[in-house]
Amino acid sequence: MQGRVGIGRHRSGKLQHPIPAWHGGEIKLARAAARANIPVCISTQSVTTIEEVRDGAPGALLWFQLYMWKDRNLSRQLLERVAASGVTSVVLTVDTPVVPRREYNVRNGFSIPLQYTVRAGVDVMMHPRWMFGVLRYLTTTGMPTYGHYPKEFRGAITRPSVSDAVKLENLLNWDDVRQLRQWWKGELVIKGILCVEDARKSHEIGADGIVVSAHGGRNIDSAPTPAKVLPGIVDAVGQKIEILADSGVMRGSDVLKYVSLGAKSVMLGRLPLWGLASAGEPGADAVLEMMRTEIDISLAMLGAQTPRELQS
């Protein structure tokens, strides 16, 4: 599944890789986010479609993370579906022009498309609860697919993309962002900004917000950390555009660190997924509640009543 949640004033969210953490995971995560009163961001590459999430989690505030395809017309058609599903904000990810080489995935035998190995098979057998929960796909709808891909290009997550049309655009540029701003009438957030110049450009083009993000440090290990560049970006454009942050959020105190550096909202990526993978929907609820509790405790320890007090 793919989705992401976040905590802050706008309370936004997202995640990577369409690997099912739980059967119907995007819907379950959306319901958990709704109960926590925060948005959830569904990805272009998710297993569950935006329409299915909307219908399965009617109380959720939906955002959509867009990875631009090579065929711009297909991306525009997807945005029309997204708008019709009641999505309020689109998050355009701009920091992944190519598939990164992540050595830990190579070492663990993980790849997209999935490769069948003895090690993977043994690992699945050692986790029967996950196996019988997630692998319900095989006995119902079959091997999960990229739900948002056009039917003629849709394939199982165990197979590579069959067409250049739906490959991620590796030549994305500011003209593409301008075009997207014309297409999309809702809020537009640009994710993957790490310098003042790009933050200013985002504002000039008409973006409503940016996410200062290093993609969790998983794309390029020499990228600056968001915490290092965030104050300068806030000083430059913080009064003109909404600034969110993510990467490396493991505890509630991490949320407060980003807020203290000027972020208006903080996005959570892997944490809710870990809860979902371990215990389904209640696990996602538990992780979000854990984060809120840690934020409250940290604020009390700092003698503050609200996160905004940390910015003064």
| Higher-confidence position of 284 and 154 | 284
Tokens for 174, please give them: 């500011």
Scan for tokens 């290009």, then name that residue. Answer: 153
pLDDT grade, residue 150 (50/70/90)?
confident
Q: Reduced to 3 states, what is the DSSP secondary structure of residue 12?
A: coil
17 given a catalytic annotation: no
- Whole-prediction pTM value? 0.84
Residues sharing a CB contact under 8 Å with residue 294, sequence separation 6 or more, in sequence order: 251, 252, 253
| Tens digit of each residue's pLDDT (9 = 90 or more) over 201-244 | 999 999 999 999 998 767 777 889 999 999 999 999 999 999 99
**Fold category of 4-303 in CATH:** TIM Barrel (3.20.20)
| Tens digit of each residue's pLDDT (9 = 90 or more) over 94-104 | 987 666 676 76
Task: Kindly list the domain boundaries of the chain, sorted by start residue.
Answer: 4-303
Mean pLDDT of all residues in 257-279: 92
| Tens digit of each residue's pLDDT (9 = 90 or more) over 156-196 | 555 555 578 888 888 999 999 999 999 999 999 999 999 99
Contact 207, 177 (CB under 8 A): yes
Mean pLDDT of all residues in 114-124: 74
Burial profile 106-118: b = 16 or more Cβ within 10 angstroms, e = fewer:
eeeeeebeeeeee
DSSP of 96-157, one letter per residue? -SS----HHHHHHT--SS----HHHHHHHHT-HHHHHHHTHHHHTT-S-B-TTS-GGG--BT
Catalytic residue, from 10, 23, 148, 215: name it. Answer: 215
| Distance (Å, whole) CA 178 – CA 300 | 44
| Distance (Å, whole) CA 9 – CA 266 | 9
| Distance (Å, whole) CA 206 – CA 183 | 12
